[in-house]
Structure 1
Amino acid sequence: MPTFDTALFVGGTRFIGRHTVEAFLDAGYDVTTLTRGEHDDPFSGRDGVANRSGDRTNRADLEAARDAVDPDVVVDFIGLHPSEVREATDVFAGSRYVYVSSGSSYVPGDVPMREDHTALHPCEPEQEADDSVETYGPRKAECDRAVFAAAEDGVEAMAVRPMLVQGPHDYTERFGYWVNRVAENDRVLVPGDGGSLLHRVFVRDLANALLLVAEEGEAGEAYNAADRSAYSLERSLELIANGLDTEVEVVTASERELDAHDVDPTSFPLYTPSPMLVATEKLAALGWESTPPTEYVAETAQAHVDSGVTGPEDSLDRAAEARVLDALNAE
């Protein structure tokens, strides 16, 4: 296997990219991030990390970065539209190209969802340029197909499909919602029976997966990235409480009980009515391992508390939660 030591990240200064920069630095790479400069650069002044200002939708910016860096590896964190991935795989045809996709590419149904078996969402032409949440899965699936097409043309292009990513610096605050609830309250409301199963992956494990696929992955392949063990929403709260050295009473509520108070189960972050699990043998076959949830949830929970994370703005507010808890307590 040839030795790689130069990486270009399209994106790379926020959440997943931030941890991936660290993983590549630890592996001996020089890393350059290509960003528009709209967010603070946590690596400013750091040895081994450079930043170029540019727009990934501008081919000239991609070509300038390619020519300046001459990267062995390119990791694309922010490809949201198929046209962007088609262009990137063309511009970076001489590098090992790793596209950060999503488990949302899959049509739900299989348990678990497998890279070479489960169908991907179709994507209509009018969806390709859309930016709505509803088209996210189809767009990611079409981006994956762009990766596969590039590989057929000889590009060393691969896709990694993470499930729900958790860890420090998570700006989505989805897991932070539950951390805040456990940290601030003795009783926490959970939709359904608490058994909601949404596969997760620790962000540093994902960073290591991206490094591993960049170096050892096979062109034209996709790799699921998720914990080698899965745990329920209720178990999440228990792990958070253990990590924060506190206690929590998990109170479950059925859809009917929630509806009585005009509460939609989907207003709870990380809730899924049907299991969303992926097979992880393919990535594990490359030598990848995941961190035990008991370890990384504790670290993540403390990081969220220290950062004052409370959850997404559109998640269930505490007043609505309290009304349901009071009603259940009175029964």
Structure 2
Amino acid sequence: MSHALVIGGTRFIGRHTVEEFLAHDYDVTIFNRGTHDNPFADDDRVEHIQGDRTDDTDLQTASLAARPDVVVDCVAYKPAEVERATEVFSDVDAYVYISSGDAYGREEIPKREGETPMRPCTPEQAEDDTGETYGNRKAEGDRKVFAAAENGVNAMSVRPCIVYGPHDYTERMDYWLDRVDSHDRILVPGDGQNVWHRAYVEDVASALRVVAEEGEAGEVYNVGDRRLVTLDEMLRLMADAMDTEVELVHAGERELAAGGLAPEDFILYRDYPHVLDTNKLAGLGWESTPLDEAMAQTVAEHRESDRDGSEHDPGRDAEERVLDVLDTLA
């Protein structure tokens, strides 16, 4: 395999995926609508085909123009898009679909490929565009991959959990990074021991390449940090990477209510642990980045960016009210 076509390829996971394949001596073509800045515009190693992946003619044109050995599909959000892509790219050496840990339909620890049930998906959900059906649509996309594999297509899925790292436009991690960088006292919902499995973006990119090279048709592979950390541990990793110290102040539901807040108002908080088993992927030779190294890279790029996670901010004034109540009770 020598030529990779990345559908998407300019923002977050796609951007790192392009860099991963380039680092392993692939020729790379990106295929997207061109609505976002292209970080590879001046890189003569990366070709760009502009088009809409939901347009059958554009997708077919991209296939004929690029003639890829590997296709990584970063922006398939509806099952029909996966089905069409596996038809158009049926002859490639590997088609890898980015699914999601949200495709799992039952809360259990850990969630395992082929064991933990997947979410159902109704015809109405398959055509929906809201966040409420995201996991349903990703699960149905996996089923399209399985069906394609049964028909002889070398199609596989990769299921990341929450992805973090440089160039994360979702700004989920940026909220907490900004808090640690800007304040000495950080309000933490609950006891700080909740666990929401996360995946460093460069590890997701390497997983996509490893699965393309070593994976089996019709299989799905979870990807996430091999060592999980609690919310408290994540914040201390941030503080270490920033060479600072912070006081983590825990607040339960009653204390948070003093500021009109609830635990769910804080991004990356999850009451029930979300943990993916990554042994299957590790069995292909994949490894994850040490957490301190991953956080150091995340912090460095965050500080260079203008992202502060403000869209996820429950309000510092409200947090201060809760901190005042806790000080009074101390």
TM-score by length of 2: 0.98
Whole-angstrom distance in 1 between the partners of 2:105 and 2:257: 28
Whole-angstrom distance in 2 between the partners of 1:84 and 1:324: 46
> Is the 8 Å Cα contact of residues 195 and 274 (structure 2) preserved in structure 1?
yes
Q: Which residue of 2 aligns with 1:191?
A: 189
Bigger shift: residues 310-319 or 134-143: 310-319
Superimposed CA distance per residue, residues 2-50 of structure 1 (whole angstroms, 9 cap, x where no aligned partner):
xx10111110100011111011001111111111111000000202101
> Is the 8 Å Cα contact of residues 115 and 224 (structure 1) preserved in structure 2?
yes
Q: Which residue of 2 aligns with 1:17?
A: 14
Superimposed CA distance per residue, residues 125-146 of structure 1 (whole angstroms, 9 cap, x where no aligned partner):
1101111111011111011111
| Pick aligned residue for 2:23 from 2, 6, 26 | 26
- State the 1:261 CA deviation: 2.5
Q: Which residue of 2 aligns with 1:149?
A: 147
Indicate how the Cα distance of structure 1 residues 112 and 27 shifts in structure 2: closer, same or farther if over 3 A, else same.
Answer: same
Q: Which residue of 2 aligns with 1:182?
A: 180
Where has structure 1 moved over 3 Å in runs of 4 or more?
Answer: none
Q: Where in structure 2 are the equivalents of 1:220-239 lying within 5 Å?
A: 220-239=218-237
Q: Counterpart of 2:121 in structure 1: which amino acid?
A: C
Q: Which residue of 2 aligns with 1:123?
A: 121
> Is the 8 Å Cα contact of residues 108 and 276 (structure 1) preserved in structure 2?
no
Q: Which residue of 2 aligns with 1:45?
A: 42
Whole-angstrom distance in 2 between the partners of 1:251 and 1:146: 46
Indicate how the Cα distance of structure 1 residues 305 and 49 shifts in structure 2: closer, same or farther if over 3 A, else same.
Answer: same
Whole-angstrom distance in 1 between the partners of 2:181 and 2:313: 17
SS of the aligned residue for 1:313 comes to helix
Unaligned segments of structure 1, at least 5 residues:
none
SS of the aligned residue for 2:6 comes to strand
Superimposed CA distance per residue, residues 166-217 of structure 1 (whole angstroms, 9 cap, x where no aligned partner):
1110001101110000000000011110011011111111111100001110
Whole-angstrom distance in 1 between the partners of 2:245 and 2:107: 35
Whole-angstrom distance in 1 between the partners of 2:317 and 2:91: 55
Q: Counterpart of 2:180 in structure 1: which amino acid?
A: V
Q: Which residue of 2 aligns with 1:330?
A: 328
> Is the 8 Å Cα contact of residues 267 and 312 (structure 2) preserved in structure 1?
no
Q: Does 1:286 align with 2:322?
A: no
- State the 1:312 CA deviation: 4.6
Superimposed CA distance per residue, residues 102-124 of structure 1 (whole angstroms, 9 cap, x where no aligned partner):
10000241100000100000011
Whole-angstrom distance in 2 between the partners of 1:137 and 1:239: 29
Q: Which residue of 1 aligns with 2:297?
A: 299
Whole-angstrom distance in 1 between the partners of 2:133 and 2:322: 33
- State the 1:262 CA deviation: 1.8
Q: Counterpart of 1:198 in structure 2: which amino acid?
A: W
Q: Which residue of 1 aligns with 2:216?
A: 218
> Is the 8 Å Cα contact of residues 127 and 139 (structure 1) preserved in structure 2?
yes
> Is the 8 Å Cα contact of residues 166 and 175 (structure 1) preserved in structure 2?
yes
Indicate how the Cα distance of structure 1 residues 143 and 312 shifts in structure 2: closer, same or farther if over 3 A, else same.
Answer: farther
Whole-angstrom distance in 1 between the partners of 2:48 and 2:234: 36
> Is the 8 Å Cα contact of residues 224 and 280 (structure 1) preserved in structure 2?
yes
Superimposed CA distance per residue, residues 238-276 of structure 1 (whole angstroms, 9 cap, x where no aligned partner):
000000000000011112221233212122111100000
SS of the aligned residue for 2:311 comes to coil
Q: Which residue of 1 aligns with 2:82?
A: 85
- State the 1:314 CA deviation: 3.9
| Pick aligned residue for 2:269 from 253, 271, 288 | 271
Q: Counterpart of 1:232 in structure 2: which amino acid?
A: T
> Is the 8 Å Cα contact of residues 7 and 30 (structure 2) preserved in structure 1?
yes
> Is the 8 Å Cα contact of residues 15 and 170 (structure 1) preserved in structure 2?
yes
Between the two proteins, the alignment pairs up a number of residues equal to 328
Whole-angstrom distance in 1 between the partners of 2:257 and 2:123: 37
Superimposed CA distance per residue, residues 273-320 of structure 1 (whole angstroms, 9 cap, x where no aligned partner):
000001011000000001111111122122112213211514312111
Q: Which residue of 1 aligns with 2:108?
A: 110
Q: Which residue of 2 aligns with 1:247?
A: 245
Q: Counterpart of 1:36 in structure 2: which amino acid?
A: R
Q: Which residue of 2 aligns with 1:207?
A: 205
Q: Counterpart of 2:51 in structure 1: which amino acid?
A: G
SS of the aligned residue for 2:170 comes to coil
